[in-house]
Amino acid sequence: MQRLLVALLAAFDAAIAAAVGLVVLLAPLTLLWTLAFGITADWGALWPLTGTLWELGHGVPLAVTIPDELLVALAIPSEAASFAVSITPLAFLLFTLLFAARSGSRAASAGAWLLGSLSGTVVFAAISTGVALTARLEAVQTPLLLAIVLPAAVYLVGTLCGAVRVAWEEGDGGILDRLHDRIDAGEDWAPVPVAIVRGTAFALVGVVGAAALALAVMTLFRGGEVVALFQSARVDALGATVMTLAQLVYLPTLIVWAASWLAGPGFAVGAGTAVSPAGTQLGVVPGIPVFGLLPENSSMWMLIVVLVPIAAGAFAGWAVRSRLVWEGTPLGMMQRAAIAGGPAGGGAGASGLAAVRAGGWRGPGRRAEVGPSAPAFMLALGLEVLVGAAILLLSPRHRDELAEERTDRWIAEMTELDPSLTSAGAPAAGAVPGIPFSDTQTFDDTAPLDDLRGFTPPRVDRD
């Protein structure tokens, strides 16, 4: 495919990704705006609100300033007039990442992964620039530079991940192939990078799946508290719809909180609060319905949940080790130790980034500290995944595994010595004992037995 066409298609993908994200926000906001204010409402603030929420969904912090007349009307203290909101609704960020990864994969399959990634990122950056310049609210301000850079950075990370994955497997005829050849030159360490990436993916999938399951279980057992908080809010159907949609876009953020709880450090819902398996210490919790899922108390016995990330690490180690055995790739202790440390480091890095985006400031006063602590989450999850992966990867190899490896090595040596043997160690089809394999290829099925060289017919005794 021509490089220009690849660049154009990647640019079109980026434009579609940005448009879909904006439309997903604009469509329900338009409907709610109409129901709340009617057809004659002032539509001038609808687009700035949409753009500001889209920027928040990509990690851009918001600086909120409540007008003076609203402070007086609602009797809000003056010290609470200005506050920051930085907790990202990760649903929008994940959508951009996945869409960008798909675009990068297609560009790599077409043979121009780098050009396609850069083309899509440039278009997405241009769109984010337009949104940042046009979507400005007086009461809610966003840093202009971050509003331009952060959405483009999210798209760049996604498209590079998708492109490099495909180009590494299929080859790109350029820098990745040269890097691949250099890694393959060290035979003992050649399988290590791919095994690390595979183990990291399995570990993250295990932790995220367990966190999502834990959140579902809490919803099942504490759904009544959520309903009670909805009722105590005393909102109409429109208000309940807005609250429900807002909580849905924060669902991936809540999964990050649940993962931090499973890892042990837990999370905070305000200054001086803590929600962890070791104990729960809460003050006055905001009446947001989803906070009804918070456990009222904890027990030291609940620390057993830290076995879940260890199990995820063990699952990653088992998956990597099984693949290496299946491929017949024996590795030394140093290589296996590096593979065990890879998922731990990757999981710690991913958890740190997720904690930064899923935590931060949510309002004035004591609500300025919300979400998991990134350093504690990184340290706990990294160590737990390391323990689980090391159990499977550094343990002595099973005798069946060693026997299979010795059998494969023996078959390979015998095949080199005698080409008539197949990979299964049996004589090849058409081979006759005592006769060179090359001579058996010219046998005639109708030739007399006496013409076979080296063949002695069996002696038959006649009575």
- Predicted pLDDT at 410: 60
Nearest Cα residue to 357 out of 343, 369, 345, 374: 374
- Predicted pLDDT at 97: 95
**Measured between alpha carbons, how far is 27 from 230 in angstroms, rounded to an integer?**
24
SS3 201: helix
**Measured between alpha carbons, how far is 282 from 295 in angstroms, rounded to an integer?**
10
- Predicted pLDDT at 437: 42
Cβ burial of 241 (10 Å; 0-12, 13-18, 19+) is middle
- Predicted pLDDT at 212: 95
- Predicted pLDDT at 71: 67
Q: What is the CA radius of gyration of the chain?
A: 31
**Measured between alpha carbons, how far is 4 from 234 in angstroms, rounded to an integer?**
57
- Predicted pLDDT at 435: 45
**Residue carrying the six token digits 């057993």:** 304
- Predicted pLDDT at 416: 67
Residue 186 sits at the vertex; the CA angle it makes with 181 and 191, to the nearest 5 degrees, is: 80
**Measured between alpha carbons, how far is 431 from 439 in angstroms, rounded to an integer?**
9
Instruction: Give the N- to C-terminal CA distance of the chain in Å, as an integer.
Output: 81
Q: Are strands 62-65 and 140-141 parallel, antiparallel or unpaired?
A: antiparallel
Nearest Cα residue to 128 out of 139, 106, 143: 143
Task: Write out the chain's pLDDT in tens, 463 residues.
Answer: 578 899 999 999 999 999 999 999 998 888 888 887 777 777 778 899 999 999 999 999 888 887 777 666 666 666 667 778 888 899 999 999 999 999 999 999 888 889 999 999 999 999 999 999 998 888 888 899 999 999 999 999 999 999 998 988 887 777 888 887 887 776 777 888 889 999 999 999 999 999 999 999 999 988 888 888 888 878 788 888 888 888 899 999 999 999 999 998 999 887 778 888 888 888 777 778 888 888 877 677 778 899 999 999 999 999 998 888 777 777 778 888 899 999 999 999 999 999 998 887 655 555 567 889 999 999 999 999 999 999 988 877 655 555 555 565 666 666 766 555 544 444 444 444 444 444 444 444 454 544 444 445 555 554 4
Largest CA distance in the chain: 127
Paired residues of 119 in beta bridges: none
**Measured between alpha carbons, how far is 320 from 312 in angstroms, rounded to an integer?**
12
Global pTM value: 0.81
Paired residues of 290 in beta bridges: none
CA distances from 139 to 37, 48, 62, 84, 331 (A): 19, 11, 10, 11, 60
- Predicted pLDDT at 445: 46
